[in-house]
Amino acid sequence: MDFGEKLYRLRVERGIYQKQLAVYLHVSVGTISNYENGIHSPDLKTLCKLANYFQVSADYLLDRTQYVSPIDDLNRELVDRYTASDIMNTIIELSPESRKDLVKYLSMLSICDRAERPALPRREPVSPEF
């Protein structure tokens, strides 16, 4: 999917009109249309503004990655001072076999998180017998 298609999809999915986006970027509606139709491409400054506006990375807009979230999310602490970036770097350094094992483990954790935990049966209070 090229830049124009990505821009169009993001705009439509979020219910934003070309005019609204044009006002934000200080360009004409025709310029937005030209971006979406692949006639023109935004300059670097405008590309950054688009990434910020839609909360995605510039790499996502340029179809260099399928990672949709803003690049800043990679620096977000996930657990015990480990960022998403730290964890990704650790995964990349694993052997291929260890990465396969990690995927299996993550799949298992995901299943466990989604599984409904059965409610514990309620015990009737026992009345003292005299």
pLDDT at 82: 87
Using alpha carbons only, what angle is made at residue 29 by residues 3 and 22, rounded to the nearest 5 degrees?
A: 75
Q: How far apart are the C-alpha atoms of 55 and 72, rounded to whole Å?
A: 10
pLDDT at 99: 92
Is the entire prediction scored with pTM above 0.85?
Answer: no
pLDDT at 71: 74
- What is the token pair recorded at 97? 């076999």
* Element at 5 (helix H, strand E): helix 3-13
Look at 18-27, 68-77, 82-91 and tell me which has the smallest mean pLDDT.
68-77
pLDDT band at 48 (very low <50, low <70, confident <90, very high): very high
